[in-house]
Structure 1
Amino acid sequence: MKRQIYLFLMVFFSVITFAQKTVSGKITDEDGVAIPSASVTIEEPGKDAILAYGITNSKGEYKVSFTSSESNVDLKVKAFNQKPLTKQITNSDQTLTFKLQSEATEIKEVQLKTKMITSRGDTIAYDLKAFDHKNDRTLADVMRKIPGIEVKTDGTILFQGNAINKFYVEGKDLMEGGYGTITNSLPKDAVAKLEVLENHQPVKMLQGKIPSDAAAINIKLKKSVTMTGRGEVGSGFGDPWLWNLKLTPMFFSKKQQWVVNYKTNNMGEQVENEGNILAFGSSWEGRRGNASQNTWLNVETANTPNLPVKRYLFNNVHYLSANYLTNIDNKKEWELKANANYTNNSVEREDQVETIFSNGLSTVNTSTRNNFYTDKLKGELIFTKNAKKGFFKNTTTFSQFWNADRAVALRNNGIGNQATESPTSSFQNSLSTIIPWKEKMVNLKSYINYQDDRQTLEVSPASYMQFPYLKPKANENDPDEYGFINFAPGTSAIQNFRIKTLDTSHSANISFTTKGWTFTPQIGVDFSTDKLNTNFDGLAVPTGPGDVQPDFSSSVYENNLTFTETVPSASVGINYKSDAWSIFANVPVNLNNIKAEDDLRKVSKSLNKTTFTPNAFIQYSFASFFKASLSGNISNNFGDIQSAYAGYMLLSPSGFNVMDANNPIPEINTKSAGSRLEYRNPLNNLFFNVNYRLSDTKRNLLSSPVLDPTTGFTLIQYKNQDNSSTSNSFSGEIGKYFPKFKSNISLNYRNSNTVSDAFFSNTEYEKQYESKNNSQSYGLKFNNTYFSWMSIDYNVSISRTKQENIGLPEGRKFAPNKGFNHNLSAFIYPLENHSIGFNWDQVNSSDGTRKFDNAFFDLSYQFAWSAKKIDFELKWMNIANRRVFETYNIQASKNAVEYTRIQLRPSQVMFTVKFNFK
């Protein structure tokens, strides 16, 4: 690993050394008067490709950095009403001053054309008109055609493969990270320009002082006051009657913004995910996160296929959200934001699975039918001041869940009815403020989170379950023995669970800047406590003469555990920002104090350890279009309450889980490093990035599941044994937009290798082994709008996964899992305002012996009433009426392979009316 790190360091610094070629100087006219806004470009002789460019400032000064292997390059200067100049110069650092000759130009006809992509500093601006087509309606539709940008179904935006950190409309962050609603519902006609803000630091006080490696999106609207939005009303038939309703009005002005959103359907659209926080901003703003439950207990769950969600999601969803922002002072520095959303959702799912264990003798057949019920409410109130001379942000969040899940599971002809109830209440408050103090900045942060989770899992009849379990030792010298738990016919098994969580974090730091460097010493303390109470109720029966059955009324099946973690810390942040360099590092020392106590189970564990967990990021920008970066970090994790309980818990009907009371608190140490080379050139619409990352993780506890291959049930436990895993991955992506052909094409590749220690047990033996995994994927994306009568979008990916278990008696090299996915979406425009759409999804998988081909076809017709901006669409989905998805998977933890059949949505026909709000 060290050798690989050294190699990448050498490559990184050799690239930097090779890139240090800079030409600077001044451009004037014949009289020596400075010429502002003149363009200076560097090109290789005989090649029509720009290596780098610069623009002169108000004093006529320019500076251009470039990289080339040629001994000479061409320097070209252009300015309005001046004669262009071209000069061949040596490939070296130099200062050159040029005088341009005046040249009047007679303009016979003037046509104003907006450039599709322009760049100024760290801002790249895209003219949406250059990328949209007849069938595009929303911001997301157009963004999917822009090189370097990827938009997912829920509205998530990636730039150069990385998630953005902010999404603004006219410079305001209304959605606070939950921007998917706007991406999917803002009409394209309301947008004038889309801006990518590279290396964006959202806190204005820190701009130019604390660098960032993330990008942000800013939407520029055509009107200063905009009332807009998108709506759909649809109905159809399939099985059962179908409906789809979407109403998303929006309002944007200089002082106020709001978005109201109501969406409901039962046709397989996962609209509730639009409310998720997709961009998390800066840690200087405090802590942000999606509301979630501490979900420990689960029913057995049917699988989901690697398909678009609309193919398999049997849902009945109602999602309502409202977001409001207003300035509350005359200077427009203070903002009040109020956000709320409510989800009511019911989902059905069903599958059949054949599991074949590697010894070739055991096969388990299962079938699972689920009903998942989601009922959740979230409210948020945010006060923000983000100004050059002060920052304040307080976020108060309340969340309530009333979720429930149901399952009917069949395993080797045994049937079990399963149910969970999961109510949760959560309250969070995050405060961060930065106060200027002379030439310094003082940052105070406070975070408080309290959450109360209750869960109940019931399985009836309990005789459906038959588990291996670890019999208690008579004395320390007795070997471990495995027995089976048999439940009395007609009885129920009930697992009760409750956990109360208090999590707090407080810190203070002071920042001072000198010569471009910013140093931030910080002290803080994190405190968390979890109180866990569980008990299990069931009735066991003997399996044979002399067999001792567990007593469920004993404390072995109860927990009364308190897990407390106190971590005082001290750190120094080091940051540097210049035109070419961005450096930030954090050097913390943590004093970890952890206690786990359960008088009922006689658990008393503690850990006191000092850890050093530095992280660093270095980025160098060169030759106008290149960025090279290195990153690395060391992290420590000491587990949580899930690794400390010692009483048996039925976390799932498929098996009990338990931790050995004598095991120490888990210690996980991870070291990772990565490198990235990025190129983005708006002048020729070319973008690419190359990434490499490696990591090494060491643990003191090893997962030791005890599997009964006859029933497929498992007992999960852990051994006190050092183990490790290493991984390395390489990925690359290149994309280019061809304006002449109105085509966007991108290619991507990824290769990942992981080697890890693992442990396998059954009722006959136990063995440690090494698991090796390799995965590769290739992808291509292409869209074309060259012809006025047709547009095409095509995505394809090819994957290959290999696994080998070394050291198991029946271990073997599993047959490679090969996958092929593609999507073709084509629209034909035979007449004005009429379009015919065709969609083809193909998902294939193979294990070398069996091959599964899954094809899906959709057909649509749309009429656009242009005067009213209303669309009428008739769509036939899953024309072939494919009802089952078939696939093959490797299950490493079971040393087995699975062949799965998953129920899909049938053929359905929908008629939909789509419209804009103004």
Structure 2
Amino acid sequence: MKNLLSFILVFCCSIIVLAQKTISGNITDSNGKALPSASVTIEEPGKNAILAYAISNSKGEYKIIFTSSESDVILKVKAFNQKTQSKTIKNADQTQNFSLAGETTEIEEVKIKTKLITKKGDTISYDIKAFENKSDRSLADVLKKMPGIEVNKDGTVLYQGEPINKFYVNGKDLMEGGYGTINNSLPKDAVAKVEVLENHQPVKILQDKVPSENAALNIKLKKSVTMTGRGEVGAGFSPFLWNVKLTPMFFGQKNQWVVNYKANNNGESVENEGNMLSFGSRWEGRRSQASQKSWTNVETAGTPNIGEKRYLLNNVHFFSANLLTSPFKNKEWELKANASYTNNSIKREDYQVSVYDVGSRTVPLGGTFTSSTSNNFYDNAAKGELIFTKNAKKGFFKNTTTWNSFWNTDRAKVDNYLPPAVGETNAIHKMAMEDLNSPSGIFQNSLSTIVPWKEKLFNVMSYVKYQKDRQTMSINPGSYLIDFGFGNYSKINQYATSKTLEVDHSVSVGFSYKKWTFTPEVGLNMNFNNLNSAINGEVGGTNHFLGSDMLNDVDWNEIQPYTQLGVNFKSQNFNLNMTLPVNFYGITYRDNIRNKYLDQSKTVFEPTLFANYEFASFFKLWAFANQKYDFGNFGFLYGGKMLTSPTSLRVRSADNIEMPEYLTRSIGSRLEYRNPLNNLFFNVRYNYSTNKRNIIESYKTNGFTNELVLETMDNTSKSQTESAEIGKYFPKYKMNLSVSATNTDSNSFSFFNDLRETDSNRQNLGIKFNNAYFSWLSVDYNVGFNWSKSSNTTDNIDVKTSGWNHNLSTYIYPSENHTFGFFWDDLTTKVKGTNFRNSFFDVSYQYTWVKKKIDFELKWLNIANRKVYETVSVDVAQSLISTNQMYIRPSQFMFTVKFNFK
């Protein structure tokens, strides 16, 4: 099947490329002077539709590529103060020159009509006024309505289905990837237009040398110097609810800053605005979202697949400040300082019923297990960052220093019930309190500089990271872990401390020959890690040693010298990027308690490739391929037992275990079409990957608990995905419509008491629609359908599931000052005749003080006062069906005052 689909995709793309034609030439006026900025279009006879277009350059030269099945086409040229010319020509490659006659026209009345979407070179511009509704207030509200652009639930902005690599405001990157704050709090009235910068290479000295596969977003404000921002203050019940959002912003030519304080207990995780959503270019050095190393966790209640405002029981305070300034007269140098602090507490609760079929290899006699979990999470996080940058055509320098600290405390209360097995009379009822303290500290410094010397570019990169994590988990009573042999203790404590030092240095030189750029590079990666862990039993406040099999003292060290060659080709319509690395992996694993030593020394070839080709003005064809080895990482192996959760005891080692060796190969293709002339965007994708492994994780399940060990066993999983998305804006009806579809086929292997193979097939269909045709009404509607089939080929078990969800937002504007809103969320899951439907309804009223741009909003959420969210899931590998009731926020009222700072 996958080979047939690959052949069809390549065949169709080949037909498109072979069928395209190219026309080029020169455009001059009657005096023979070159005419720049003249528009050239191709049309088919008898049809009022433009197939392709081009704009002449400063020399009057043009080149237009198109595809048509007609034998003749119409070539038309227009220029200001020149008489339009058109020719009917053969549909073939050729050269056509034009000499336009001057024409002066007296204009009695001029009507200016702004184009909704325009394209110039690699820049596509959206007129924000064309896509906004009366209910929209922030930039994020409007972005969701623009064809070709999506906004994920986590705030990530996608263009043609791919994440953007930069988010600029007036050409400056203040937020360095953490753009959620600006996106959510920048008033849409301050924005003139949104620009998509296709194939964006953020390092200026590499532009026209090293192509990029990603696009960037540039927000152009109406004023070059802008003081703006959004604020909200609200209160409500029940219980007592509050919400504060204060985000003033300043965007100038030399300085930019954003100060952000947000706090609430009404179910909005504002702290996520500090997450990094884009990472720029590898030439800028290394930056990533800092996270703790997790060795153990308390049992955690589930979260429903609905908007977090419906279930998140929180109390959060989040403060952040971002500053960009040019400290020197040379404005090419920029200093950025970012800081943030989060204090957050979250409550969560659920009730789960797990049913194993009779004959299940995990629980052969079958059975029904019930479990309830209640959590309290207390999180504190602080971050500080200094970035010093010079990004110029004649050189590049960037140094980023980041500090992160976490102080987290997690608590859980669990209640499990296991009815008596067949032939027995005693049920098992277990309750426990669980506590986890996990402080962490992280320091990172990244340096990258590119220096030109004659025709060459020298790049030096250096990265240093140090991280320390400590975790202490306590389970009370210890008899809760009787299945692991801990029943004689009143409390069980799991301790874990890890340290990581990572150092990465590289040097490269780039030189160009015509349209080619070659970049040889050498580097050295070093990674040194240590883990210490212990499980203690406690009786009467005294800790007891449980044996050396409960201890770990493990070192995992990596030394990886490498050399690679980067090859880049860039022409007007074709870009090629290849990275050809030869990597030497030297990895050692040492268990200091058991005197066990393993190592891996291997030299491998790990190439990556991407290429794109633009044709017929509006089409772009992409191709991707890569090969990557994985020889494990810190935490993959350890010989002592660890409670990774109170119900999971793991040993990631065995007497005959080998060092892991995973090989992943991926190929993919994408065809894009973006036509600003008729506001149409679409993309079609195909991806195929394999993952060959020599180790499998083996689980032994016993009711509520499971144990894990590693087994040496070759297994290969495969995945294939086909997807398509089309979006169009209809200006006559002020309507944006998009449709997306995805099909995924995959297989996987698992070991629950024995080996099982699982095949799965999943389809998704999504439709998005928004309309503001009537001045008194606007509608936003999203609906998604999903179908899946999971097959346990080992036991010959098939299970089908399905579901759908829709989100409706409707606003009615009886007058300029008044807005009524109605909101309906509906989600359904279905497995083996078990069907759960979850419906939610909200209403709102908003009065707008137009002169002051202040909104007064009253909102009633969850009118039906639904208190639980119900869902059903299946695990064919274990012949298990689980139903889950997750407790959510009850009906509540909120009164909020919203305003702009200026």
Normalising by structure 1, report the TM-score: 0.94
**In the aligned structure 1, how far is the partner of 2:286 from the partner of 2:252?**
28
**In the aligned structure 2, how far is the partner of 1:740 from the partner of 1:372?**
51
Decide whether the 8 Å contact of 2:831 with 2:874 is kept in 1.
no
* Secondary structure of residue in 1 paired with 2:23: strand
- Give the one of 661, 667, 671 matched to 1:673: 667
State the match for 2:874 in structure 1: 890
Amino acid aligned to 1:633: N
Is 1:651 aligned with 2:644? yes
State the match for 2:704 in structure 1: 712
State the match for 1:638 in structure 2: 631
- Give the one of 843, 861, 880 matched to 1:877: 861
Amino acid aligned to 1:605: L
1:719-740 superposed Cα distances (whole Å, 9 cap, x missing partner): 1111110110011100000111
Distance verdict in 2 for CA 1:434–1:59, change over 3 Å: closer
**In the aligned structure 2, how far is the partner of 1:616 from the partner of 1:57?**
31
Amino acid aligned to 1:578: S
Amino acid aligned to 1:366: S
1:792-832 superposed Cα distances (whole Å, 9 cap, x missing partner): 00000000121111113xx5112x12111100000000122
**In the aligned structure 1, how far is the partner of 2:5 from the partner of 2:210?**
26
1:202-252 superposed Cα distances (whole Å, 9 cap, x missing partner): 0000000000010001111111211110000000011x2000000000011
Distance verdict in 2 for CA 1:102–1:641, change over 3 Å: closer
Distance verdict in 2 for CA 1:127–1:598, change over 3 Å: same
Decide whether the 8 Å contact of 1:19 with 1:622 is kept in 2.
no
Decide whether the 8 Å contact of 2:478 with 2:537 is kept in 1.
yes
Pairing of 1:262-341 with structure 2 (within 5 A): 262-341=261-340
- Give the one of 549, 553, 576 matched to 1:556: 549
Pairing of 1:440-451 with structure 2 (within 5 A): 440-451=456-467
Pairing of 1:52-63 with structure 2 (within 5 A): 52-63=52-63
**In the aligned structure 1, how far is the partner of 2:621 from the partner of 2:222?**
36
Once the two structures are TM-superposed, the CA of residue 769 in structure 1 deviates from its matched residue by: 2.1
Decide whether the 8 Å contact of 1:603 with 1:661 is kept in 2.
no
State the match for 2:474 in structure 1: 458
* Secondary structure of residue in 2 paired with 1:99: strand
State the match for 2:396 in structure 1: 391
Decide whether the 8 Å contact of 1:352 with 1:365 is kept in 2.
yes
Once the two structures are TM-superposed, the CA of residue 3 in structure 1 deviates from its matched residue by: 4.4
**In the aligned structure 1, how far is the partner of 2:273 from the partner of 2:29?**
55
Amino acid aligned to 1:754: S
Tell me how many residue pairs correspond in the alignment. 880
Once the two structures are TM-superposed, the CA of residue 522 in structure 1 deviates from its matched residue by: 0.6
* Secondary structure of residue in 2 paired with 1:649: strand
Once the two structures are TM-superposed, the CA of residue 55 in structure 1 deviates from its matched residue by: 1.5
Distance verdict in 2 for CA 1:731–1:6, change over 3 Å: closer
* Secondary structure of residue in 2 paired with 1:279: coil
Once the two structures are TM-superposed, the CA of residue 38 in structure 1 deviates from its matched residue by: 2.1
Once the two structures are TM-superposed, the CA of residue 4 in structure 1 deviates from its matched residue by: 6.0
State the match for 1:377 in structure 2: 382
Amino acid aligned to 1:721: M
**In the aligned structure 2, how far is the partner of 1:514 from the partner of 1:32?**
34
Amino acid aligned to 2:772: T
Amino acid aligned to 2:605: F
1:339-372 superposed Cα distances (whole Å, 9 cap, x missing partner): 0111110000111111112336211111100111
* Secondary structure of residue in 2 paired with 1:310: helix
Pairing of 1:586-601 with structure 2 (within 5 A): 586-601=579-594
* Secondary structure of residue in 2 paired with 1:351: strand
1:102-138 superposed Cα distances (whole Å, 9 cap, x missing partner): 4443322112232221110000111111111211111
Amino acid aligned to 1:704: S
Pairing of 1:808-847 with structure 2 (within 5 A): 808=795, 812-814=797-799, 816-847=800-831
RMSD: 1.6
Is 1:405 aligned with 2:397? no
Amino acid aligned to 1:233: V
* Secondary structure of residue in 1 paired with 2:83: coil
Once the two structures are TM-superposed, the CA of residue 8 in structure 1 deviates from its matched residue by: 6.6
State the match for 1:546 in structure 2: none
Once the two structures are TM-superposed, the CA of residue 415 in structure 1 deviates from its matched residue by: 0.6
Deviates more, 1:574-583 or 1:531-540: 531-540
* Secondary structure of residue in 2 paired with 1:588: strand
State the match for 1:722 in structure 2: 714
**In the aligned structure 2, how far is the partner of 1:282 from the partner of 1:623?**
29
State the match for 1:366 in structure 2: 371
Distance verdict in 2 for CA 1:457–1:735, change over 3 Å: same
State the match for 2:569 in structure 1: 576
- Give the one of 603, 620, 626 matched to 2:619: 626
Amino acid aligned to 1:202: P
**In the aligned structure 1, how far is the partner of 2:397 from the partner of 2:59?**
38
Amino acid aligned to 2:223: K
Decide whether the 8 Å contact of 1:644 with 1:661 is kept in 2.
no
Amino acid aligned to 1:38: A
Decide whether the 8 Å contact of 1:233 with 1:244 is kept in 2.
yes
State the match for 1:616 in structure 2: 609
Once the two structures are TM-superposed, the CA of residue 331 in structure 1 deviates from its matched residue by: 2.0
- Give the one of 776, 779, 784 matched to 2:771: 784
State the match for 1:433 in structure 2: 449
**In the aligned structure 1, how far is the partner of 2:8 from the partner of 2:138?**
42
Decide whether the 8 Å contact of 1:299 with 1:652 is kept in 2.
yes
**In the aligned structure 2, how far is the partner of 1:444 from the partner of 1:135?**
49
Distance verdict in 2 for CA 1:564–1:807, change over 3 Å: same
Distance verdict in 2 for CA 1:8–1:610, change over 3 Å: farther
Structure 1: which 5+ runs fail to align? 468-483, 541-550, 762-766
Decide whether the 8 Å contact of 1:12 with 1:628 is kept in 2.
no
Amino acid aligned to 1:695: S
Decide whether the 8 Å contact of 1:5 with 1:673 is kept in 2.
no
Identity of aligned pairs, percent?
55
Once the two structures are TM-superposed, the CA of residue 539 in structure 1 deviates from its matched residue by: 6.8
Once the two structures are TM-superposed, the CA of residue 79 in structure 1 deviates from its matched residue by: 2.5
1:370-418 superposed Cα distances (whole Å, 9 cap, x missing partner): 1111101000001000001110000000011001100001111311111
Decide whether the 8 Å contact of 1:38 with 1:56 is kept in 2.
yes
Decide whether the 8 Å contact of 2:668 with 2:687 is kept in 1.
yes
* Secondary structure of residue in 1 paired with 2:549: helix
Once the two structures are TM-superposed, the CA of residue 868 in structure 1 deviates from its matched residue by: 0.6
Decide whether the 8 Å contact of 2:812 with 2:821 is kept in 1.
yes
- Give the one of 729, 741, 754 matched to 1:737: 729
**In the aligned structure 1, how far is the partner of 2:348 from the partner of 2:877?**
24
Once the two structures are TM-superposed, the CA of residue 770 in structure 1 deviates from its matched residue by: 1.3
Structure 2: which 5+ runs fail to align? 360-365, 418-428
1:760-807 superposed Cα distances (whole Å, 9 cap, x missing partner): 21xxxxx22211011110000000011100000000000012111111
Normalising by structure 2, report the TM-score: 0.95
Decide whether the 8 Å contact of 2:782 with 2:808 is kept in 1.
yes
State the match for 1:111 in structure 2: 111
State the match for 1:355 in structure 2: 354
Amino acid aligned to 1:195: E
Pairing of 1:13-162 with structure 2 (within 5 A): 14-15=14-15, 17-162=17-162
Amino acid aligned to 2:752: F
**In the aligned structure 2, how far is the partner of 1:59 from the partner of 1:651?**
68
Amino acid aligned to 1:267: N
Decide whether the 8 Å contact of 2:210 with 2:568 is kept in 1.
yes
Pairing of 1:420-569 with structure 2 (within 5 A): 420-467=436-483, 485-488=485-488, 491-538=490-537, 553-569=546-562
State the match for 1:206 in structure 2: 206
**In the aligned structure 2, how far is the partner of 1:746 from the partner of 1:139?**
20
Amino acid aligned to 1:236: G
Decide whether the 8 Å contact of 2:16 with 2:67 is kept in 1.
no
Amino acid aligned to 1:616: L
